[in-house]
Copies of this chain bind each other. A is one copy, B any other.
Amino acid sequence: MKKARRRTPERIVETALRLFNEFGEPNVTTTVIADEMNISPGNLYYHFHNKDEIVSTLFADYEREVDALLTLRDTQPREAEDIWFFLHLLFEIIWKYRFIYRDINDLLTRSRLIETHFQRILAHKQQTALALCNGLAASGALEATPDELAALAVNITLVTSFWLSFEHARQPRKPPDIGRGVYQVMSLAAPWLRGPARQLLQKLSHEYL
C-alpha cells in the first residue's frame, strides 16, 4: 500500500504524458487525468497543485533527456552512420514528448519558464549541429564556408524541431516513420559532404529508400 502510494506521482506524470500526446495538452484537464487513473481529484492535487506543475515536470524530464543527448561527451559522433543514429535518438525523444512541440506556442505564451528553457534547448541544438558539422569539416568530410555552415546549422535545428509537426499535419492519423525525418535532416548536409562520407550517406539513403 505504501509502495503504491509512493509511485502515484510517477503514474500521474506518465498518464498525463500519454493523454497530452494523444489529445493535446490544452484538451486534457487534471480531472481527466485523475479519472483515467481511477484516483480522486483530491489525491492528484495532493501531489500536483495544478496542471501547470505536471507540465513543468514533463518539460524538465524532456529537457534533461535532450540535454544529455546533445552534450555528447566523449562519444562525439564523427561518421555519417553515427550521426544517423544520433538523429534517430533525438527524434525519439521529441516523439516521446511530442505534445510540447504540438502546443509549443500555447505553452510559450503561458509559461515564462518554458519560454526561456525552450530557447535554451534550441540554442543548444544549433550549437551541437554546428559542432558536428565543424568536426566533419575538420576531418575533410565536409566542405563549406563559415556562412554556409551557420545557415546549415539553423536549418538542421529547424527541421529536427518541426519535422514531426509537419508530418503530423500531412498525416494526422498515422504514426510517423522517424527514419524519414532522419533522412530529411541528412539531406540538408548531403550536398556539403565529400569523399567517403558522401558515399556512405548515399549508401545509407539508398538502403533506407
Contacts and interface: CB of A to CB of B under 8 A. Distances in A.
Interface of A: 23-24, 26-27, 102-106, 108-109, 115, 118-119, 122, 144, 147-148, 151-152, 154-155, 157-159, 161-163, 165-166, 168-170, 172, 183-184, 187-188, 190-192, 205, 209
Contacts of A172: 108-109, 115
A183 to B, nearest CB: 7
Contacts of A209: 147
Chain copies in the assembly?
Answer: 2
Contacts of A109: 23-24, 27, 172
B170 A105 contact: no
A26 B26 CA distance: 9
Contacts of A155: 155, 159, 184, 187-188
A157 to B, nearest CB: 8
A144 B187 CA distance: 12
Given A118-B169, A147-B209, A157-B166, 10 more contacts: A23-B109, A24-B105, A102-B105, A103-B106, A105-B165, A108-B172, A119-B169, A122-B166, A148-B187, A191-B191
